[in-house]
Amino acid sequence: MNALTAFSLWSQRNRWIWAAIGVLLLWLVLSIVTNRFSLSSLSGIILSASFLTIVGIGQMFVVTTGRGNIDLSVASVITLSAFVALLTIKGEDANLAIGVAAAILLGLAVGALNSLLVVGLGIPAIIATLATGYVLATATLLSNRAISGFTVSPALKYLASGRISGVPVMAVIAISGVAATSFVLRYTVFGQLLSAVGQNRTAARLAAIRTGPVIASAFIISSVLASLNGLLLGAYIGGAFLEMGQPYLLQSIAAVVLGGTLIFGGSATAVGTLFASILLILIVTTMQIIGLPPGAQDIVQGIVVIFVLALAGRQAMIRRAPVEPTGGDAAVPAGDRQP
Amino acid sequence: MSQSAVADQDRAALAALAAPVRQSVVSLTGITKSFGPTLANAGIDLCVGAGNVIGLVGGNGAGKSTLMRILCGAMWPTLGSISFADAQVNFADYGTAEAQRQGIRMVHQELSLCANLSVAENFFLETPQDAAARPGWRTVYRARARAALDAVFPGNGIDADAEVGHLSIAERQMVEIARAAATPGVRLIVLDEPTSSLDLDRSKQLRAFIRERAKAGLAFIFISHKLQEIIDIATEIVVLRNGRTAWQGEVADASIGGLVQLMGGDANPVHQHAVSTASAQDVLVRLSGPLTSELGRDIEIVRGEIVGLAGLEGSGQKELLHGIFSPHAKQNGTVTRHAQAGFIAGDRQKEGVFPLWSVLGNISIGALARRPALGLVSDRANREMAAGAASKLRLDDSRFQSNITELSGGNQQKALVARALVADTPIILLDDPTRGVDIATKQDFYRLCNEIARSGRALVWHTTEDAELLACDRVLVFAGGRIVRELAGDAITESAVVGASFAQPADRHATARHKDAPAARLGRRLVDAAPFIGLAAVLTVMISANPAVASIFGLDLLLMPALSLVLVTAAQMFIVGGSEIDLGVGAFAGLVSVLSATLLYDQPWLGALALVAALAAYAGLGGVIQARKIPAIVVTLGASFIWVGLGYALQPTPGGASPEWLSALFSWSLGFVPTSIILIAAVALIVFVIDRLPLGVVLRGFGNNPTAMIRSGWSPTRYALVRYLIAGLFASAAGLSLTAINTASDINSGNSFTLLSVAAAVMGGCSLLGGIISPVGAVAGAVTLSLIGALLGTLNVSSDFNAATQGLILIALLTLHSLTADRRSEQ
């Protein structure tokens, strides 16, 4: 009993554990029920999850800035970046540096544009990034026409799909990214400022935090990571196609929320995003193995997101319930009264 | 001890005296309310008889607001009971709606009017039962508003059709008081600081009105910190202190001095004038320009002094604090700051605490904020730094690891002071820091402020408690946004402050209304006219390129496809009106289209059933969003996957067929007007009518001020359902139109509508903050946007640029809006 309460306290602070438990359980069930799951299929799942994790980490930074901020341009950035990579690298390792530089530049440019719209002009993040996404969609169409052939540089191909003694290189990249992000969030001033801005933006401003640059850097991180991910994803699938980034739109948000990052901002967990990415890929893979049509897969993903949010929404409400009797005008709405 | 004994005696005597004489309106017995470890109310009894005017006094945090919230059904007590003249009511069945039914109305300090509605419509929100869904229903409320305002405040000159957002604070206060007073069947009106923004004449009018209505049997509870008013108007006085009744009795037995003592505010709390040791050369802040024009000289704030900011609430004190904190913001040049400034907010929930963090985290952020972003954080360094500050504050450092929200208000405030101390700024700005802090902590706080000032810092202190000004070395009194008086040393008295506060109430209107530059007005007109200019421009270009477009057939060909977007825009507009955005509305239209081209075509009954089920799911989504308080954007994005998934499952590739009756709906013709124009106009008309109905007013009210709506007894979840149901109906109509126009269905056919509908709504003048529905503008916007593709074709531009053009138009519009928005809100 004591251990149970201790765990529940601990799990409140370490919300990533739920996604980890989810992965473990689903994995166990699958390996017992079917005999098609093996260590090698796990490494395949981890490989797919690595791509999602990279986008998810970026999305997590944006979500953590609070006020319902979400980056809806990641899907277009991924697609466009894959095309840009094809155009710049042209399958030659010699051009790799140019390609990577182009991808980073693309991310920086889109991130700067998003920040300008959100921070500079005060446009709601959802609308601003959606609009940016549309502009990028045209750029993608244009680059699609300019493509001469689908060849991928061998070095990039190795990064995206190679293995080091069975472990996908991508997984190493993703896990080091997660480790670095965890460190930044926990042990750097930036991580603390980000959390403060996400929890209470007014209070952050009054504590002399320059909120604009903090929020802007979150958007820039998100775009750069999405762009790098597009580069690698393009190498992995050996080309690029329109709409290739589309699945990452909802999945990246789902990975963030499922992993235990608060959708209202202020608290992020990179490890949670990693486990949630694995869990999501596991769910999708399961659906494919069962033979569900693509439509049904969409439905399940949508339901998972709404369900998790509905649960998380409750949690955040409890946490943020006013404890102060004289908290000014923080009126308690009729629906939320505790007898 | 002795005091409470006295209170008990008095209470008993009073009960014996009052109970049999007057008919009781409501009585609260043994009300106790705990918030975690703190008792906001402890065993309070309150009996209100017909015709009573009860003056309720007590310091901030004495429990007045909590008690009144319980009385009005906005909060449930931990213990205690409530009974009305006829019967005891169980608290479990008691809520805002029941309180209203019992005739209890409250006029809140922070106003509960919907700023986007007219005065008459705000009267409707309070008494909706007299409204009917027919044209001219507002007449009743217009007349009622007029009569009510004239009854309380003769000669007020407020137009019943004026938008509340355009009224001054005093006028809004008057509307709110009149609204409560005019409610049929009202038996008790609670007035929370009703005179805080009224000038003396209006205040007298109000008191005369109260006296008159009390004779007729209406009961009042009058909360005010202006004790002269209380003595003047009340028949009985109740004094609260630390959540308990400190005294209760007839007004004849009360005096101002006695009340002050009972409230716990010693008449002379901390008057220590720490006459500054620093030299006058050490100027940290200089105030000049229009701000000090009344004084005729600049004001300098130097090291080592405490400067108080006083005046009526909202006279410019907060603006000055924020102006000093970030001088570049607005007041160009009037504030010059020569050193770094820290800020201590009194509204801890909104502006102070970081609720997810421990006490330690909340303190150390003060220092972190001033370090380079890539620096490393060490718990031990933080702890050492915070411990130094905390020991000065007598804040127990064993509580560093507790979550900040577990602390009492006073200790939270100490943590915020500690935050300012670790930031180590020469200037510290305090924004009403003792709000909701108990009296012992307050005394601690005053002592601390003195110490901080003596250590060579300058404190600028805005307070709403006039008594606290006695702790200052200098006081600047504000009126109408300017400093009208400077008091120093022994000249600081409460009466001097109050006298100066009312110096020039007329000036406020002049300054508030005078700012509208012609350029800004032009910009705003341009934004308002954007959809129409855009539509005209697009049509002109297309007709000049191909005159055949201007024929009836040509227009129909061009505009019929726009109909679907117009319908989706109508749906999105209702969601945006509730300050949310639906990212799944286009996908939902696509799903309806698929349903109608497959199931509805093959098996009409099953199809109809499926449509109803989809609609119910869509409306239910709105209910979930409201009930769970989760972001609509993510939920609707998730839902869009469900809609698309369902569509794919039903129809993996485009196809199907339109039922004949459905096609017929969209293919009739009058011959002389394009059918599409009639249909589009009809949609605009339907939206317009819904918006003008009582229902539309309620929906707009929720979009603007949900708190006020809940206080008036409206159910947020029900209206979220209704809002999404209306939106769902329009989106379904859009889906049906897609099927009819394309004579087939494709689940992806609606996808592009989602962004376009938001763009069209914004283009038409809807604010993403909610509360505005503008049918004509949005429809014009939707038509313009849907013509972009055809326009690009006419201009021989590749259709690849379609998406970019639409995205850029949206960005451009929002930019325009945000550039003109500041001025708009000042209107």
Q: Phi/psi of residue B486, each to 5°?
A: -120, 125
Mapped onto helix, strand or coil, the DSSP state of residue B303 is coil
Compute the nearest-CA separation of A32 from chain B (Å): 29
The answer to whether A290 and A194 are in contact (CB under 8 A) is no
Task: Please indicate whether residue B38 or residue B123 has the higher confidence score (pLDDT).
Answer: B123
Mapped onto helix, strand or coil, the DSSP state of residue B108 is coil
Q: Do A208 and B412 touch (CB under 8 A)?
A: no
Within 8 A of B631 by CB-CB distance, chain A residues are 68, 263-264, 309
A66-75, A147-156, A221-230: lowest mean pLDDT where? A147-156
* B781/B562 Cα distance (integer angstroms): 10
pLDDT above 60: residue B822 = no
Helix then strand then coil, in percent of chain B rounded to 5, is 55, 15, 30
Mutation for testing the B interface, residue in A76, A134, A297, A300 having most B CBs under 10 Å = A134
Q: Do A332 and B96 touch (CB under 8 A)?
A: no
pLDDT digits (tens, 9 = 90+) for B385-406: 888 888 877 777 777 888 888 7
pLDDT above 60: residue B299 = yes
Read off the pLDDT band of B149 (50, 70, 90): very high
Q: What's residue B5's pLDDT?
A: 46
CB neighbours (10 Å) of residue A114?
Answer: 30
Q: What's residue B565's pLDDT?
A: 94
B135-149, B289-303, B517-531, B794-808: lowest mean pLDDT where? B517-531
Residue A242, token pair as written in the block = 């329109």
Return the closest-CA partner of residue B758 out of A124, A9, A102, A91. Answer: A124
The mean predicted confidence, pLDDT, of chain B is 83
Return the closest-CA partner of residue A195 out of A268, A263, A260, A264. Answer: A268
Q: Do A207 and B369 touch (CB under 8 A)?
A: yes
* B464/B364 Cα distance (integer angstroms): 28
Average pLDDT over residues B577-603: 92
Pick the residue from chain B with its C-alpha nearest to A321: B405
Read off the pLDDT band of B684 (50, 70, 90): very high
Residue A253, token pair as written in the block = 């948000």
Which residue has 């809140």 as its token pair?
A: B108
Average pLDDT over residues A120-142: 90
Share of chain A above pLDDT 70, in %: 90
Q: Quick one: angle between helices A211-237 and A189-199, nearest 10?
A: 110
Nearest by CB to residue A131, choosing from B345, B408, B807, is: B807
Q: Do A68 and B423 touch (CB under 8 A)?
A: no
Q: Do A250 and B641 touch (CB under 8 A)?
A: yes
Within 8 A of A324 by CB-CB distance, chain B residues are 35, 38, 348-349, 408-409, 412, 436
pLDDT above 50: residue B65 = yes
A280-284, B138-142, B326-330, B597-601: lowest mean pLDDT where? B326-330
Within 8 A of A319 by CB-CB distance, chain B residues are 355-356
Q: Model ipTM?
A: 0.84
Pick the residue from chain B with its C-alpha nearest to A217: B373
Cβ density class B720-729: b for 16+ within 10 Å, e for less: bbbbbbbbbb
Compute the nearest-CA separation of B326 from chain A (Å): 9
Residue A278, token pair as written in the block = 């694995």
Read off the pLDDT band of B346 (50, 70, 90): confident
Q: What's residue B15's pLDDT?
A: 47
Q: Do B641 and A317 touch (CB under 8 A)?
A: no
**Which residues, listed in sequence order, are joined to residue B358 by a DSSP beta bridge?**
B403
Q: Virtual CA dihedral for B642, B645, B646, B651, nearest 10 degrees?
A: 160
Q: What's residue B618's pLDDT?
A: 95
Average pLDDT over residues A251-261: 89
pLDDT above 70: residue A37 = no
pLDDT above 60: residue B18 = no
The answer to whether A270 and B626 are in contact (CB under 8 A) is no
Within 8 A of A126 by CB-CB distance, chain B residues are 581, 583, 633
Pick the residue from chain A with its C-alpha nearest to B769: A124
**Which residues, listed in sequence order, are joined to residue B343 by a DSSP beta bridge?**
B429
pLDDT digits (tens, 9 = 90+) for B252-290: 888 877 887 777 654 445 545 545 444 556 888 888 888
Q: Do A192 and B365 touch (CB under 8 A)?
A: yes
Task: Please indicate whether residue A4 or residue A120 has the higher confidence score (pLDDT).
Answer: A120
The answer to whether A250 and B638 are in contact (CB under 8 A) is yes
Task: Please indicate whether residue A8 or residue B186 has the higher confidence score (pLDDT).
Answer: B186
Q: What's residue A257's pLDDT?
A: 86
Q: What's residue B510's pLDDT?
A: 40
Q: What's residue B37's pLDDT?
A: 65
Read off the pLDDT band of B184 (50, 70, 90): confident
Residue B623, token pair as written in the block = 């209910």
Compute the nearest-CA separation of A164 from chain B (Å): 33
Top-confidence range, A34-43, A78-87, B435-444, B474-483 = A78-87
Compute the nearest-CA separation of A157 from chain B (Å): 30
Share of chain B above pLDDT 70, in %: 90
Q: What's residue A315's pLDDT?
A: 53
Which residue has 């069945």 as its token pair?
A: B93
List B residues 535-594 in contact with A (Cβ-Cβ < 8 A): 581, 583
Nearest by CB to residue A206, choosing from B345, B641, B652, is: B345
The answer to whether B188 and B144 are in contact (CB under 8 A) is no
Top-confidence range, A239-248, B285-294, B737-746 = B737-746
Read off the pLDDT band of A319 (50, 70, 90): very low
Q: What's residue B824's pLDDT?
A: 39
Average pLDDT over residues A307-312: 77
Q: What's residue B825's pLDDT?
A: 39
The continuous run of DSSP H or E covering B256 comes out as helix B256-263
Q: What's residue B84's pLDDT?
A: 85
Average pLDDT over residues B115-132: 87
pLDDT above 80: residue B621 = yes
Return the closest-CA partner of residue B498 out of B473, B483, B526, B479. Answer: B479
Residue type, B783: V
